[in-house]
Amino acid sequence: MKLLVIGSGGREHALVWKLSQSPRVTKIYCTPGNGGTDSIATNVAIAADSLEALRDFALETAIDFTVVGPDDLLAAGIVDLFRASGLRIFGPTANAARLESSKSFAKDFMVRHGIPCAASRVFQNSREAREYCRSTVYPLVIKADGLALGKGVIIAENLQTAEDAIHRMMDLKFFGSAGSSIVIEEFLKGSECSIHALVDGNSALIFPDAKDHKRVFDGNQGPNTGGMGTVSPCPALSDSLRQQIQDEILDPFLLGLRVDGIDFSGMLFPGLMLTASGPKVLEFNCRFGDPETQSLLRRLKSDLLDLLEACEQGKLALMKPEWDERSATCVVLASGGYPGAYEKGKEITGIQPAESIGDVVVFHAGTVRKEGKLLTNGGRVLGVTALGTPLSAAVKTAYEAADKIQFENQKRRSDIGADECPSEFKSS
């Protein structure tokens, strides 16, 4: 089969890496891809947002199956467009992807179907939003309704920060139309956890859980990023909590889809807060997480193409994937300045020595090959992954490998997995 993977991040490199192991795959194209995908796939320079150009390429190249990475393409209707041309594609339609692309739509869905989440209010008017902020308790959370590259969520500790956030989102239109309406919600305390489940309308096939580290600095300080590193499984989850997530979140989600007539097919990735009063949904994502995917796919022993096709064909209930019992870690190496402004074009060295350590795979994100050199080309540059038992062994190996990789102004968190295996961090 000829596959097309759309996107250019670490998630897409991990998808290409895993899909390339399927004996049924003869060729993979990646648009636009990165400096890592080009060694196992053919990178094609089509901008990830040119929906028609992507569809035309898939038709001309007789692509058998397409896998989409980024959320904005799903929200823009790439699945609808491909299907209308008779092309097979993995992911939700634009209508179903509203569960990610509109936080107010998702909130309304959760409230109506009894899915636990933070209490919230939606505002279309900045004056009313400000008035509300003057009469409530802090901290509170202010979210642009639409997609904002992971930057549209502000935790406001006081009225001043809340008013600034509202002004930037609604009056100055920092996130364009994504901030025309905002959700203001209760601040939830607890530990975060990422759930991934393939959903085909009839059933949900749950992947192992993972934990992301969203803030840019150690100790969960600084602004939110797309994610600075993951561990899988999520050590804070007990079996009884997993069951509670199934009963209180995934089952009502599937029922809600049926009641509302939403035809959801694809990856559902709810971000959860494990609070003292149980797990609550922070947001629904309708795609693979990045960098969760890098850790999860290291643990998948079965054929990923089989799973994605079964999802697209509504046959998930027949699938019983096997997972590596070992834990996985992904440590992101980023450009200095990320998630703010950063420079590109720095030479990267040391990937081969890093990967010569057993059980290490380095996934590329913002990288490009030019004149025989590998250069930085984005905020998140690489994701260094390792497997091990216990989790502390995976963490130790990932950092050992990360130490071998150099580029100017490299930045990384040095505490991925620290909450879960503190002894490893004390001794290092």
- How far apart (Å, rounded) are the C-alpha atoms in residues 202 and 245? 18
Q: Which of residues 7-66 bind ligand AMP (CB under 6 A)?
A: none
- How far apart (Å, rounded) are the C-alpha atoms in residues 184 and 140? 7
Residue with smaller CB distance to ligand GLY, 252 or 270: 270
328 binds, among ligand GLY, ligand AMP, none (CB under 5 to 8 A by kind): none
Number of C-beta neighbours around residue 406 at 10 A: 13
- How far apart (Å, rounded) are the C-alpha atoms in residues 182 and 143? 6
- Nearest 5°: CA angle at 193, between 427 and 267? 130
**Residue 100 in contact with ligand GLY, rule: CB under 6 A:** no
Q: Which of residues 103-132 bind ligand AMP (CB under 6 A)?
A: 118
Contacts with ligand AMP, 205-224, as mask; x by CB under 6 A: ---------x---------x
**Residue 290 in contact with ligand GLY, rule: CB under 6 A:** yes
- Window of 94-102, 184-192, 257-265, 342-350 that interacts with ligand AMP by CB under 6 A: 184-192
Q: Pick from 32, 201, 222, 271: which binds ligand AMP (CB under 6 A)?
A: 271
- How far apart (Å, rounded) are the C-alpha atoms in residues 272 and 339? 22
- Window of 29-37, 182-190, 303-311, 412-420 that interacts with ligand AMP by CB under 6 A: 182-190
Which residues lie closer than 8 Å to 64 by C-beta, 6 or more apart? 1, 2, 3, 88
Q: What is the DSSP string of 348-362?
A: -B-HHHHHTSTTEEE
Choose among 152, 299, 333: nearest CA to 228: 333
The torsion defined by the Cα of 175, 176, 178 and 182, in degrees rounded to 10, comes to 80
Q: Which of residues 216-245 bind ligand GLY (CB under 6 A)?
A: 226-227
**Residue 283 in contact with ligand AMP, rule: CB under 6 A:** yes
Q: Pick from 256, 289, 366, 383: which binds ligand GLY (CB under 6 A)?
A: 289
Contacting residues toward ligand GLY, per CB under 6 A: 212, 226-227, 285, 289-290, 292
Instruction: Kindly list the residues in this chain that would bind ligand AMP in the complex (CB under 6 A).
Output: 118, 141, 143, 153, 155, 185-188, 192, 214, 224, 271, 282-283
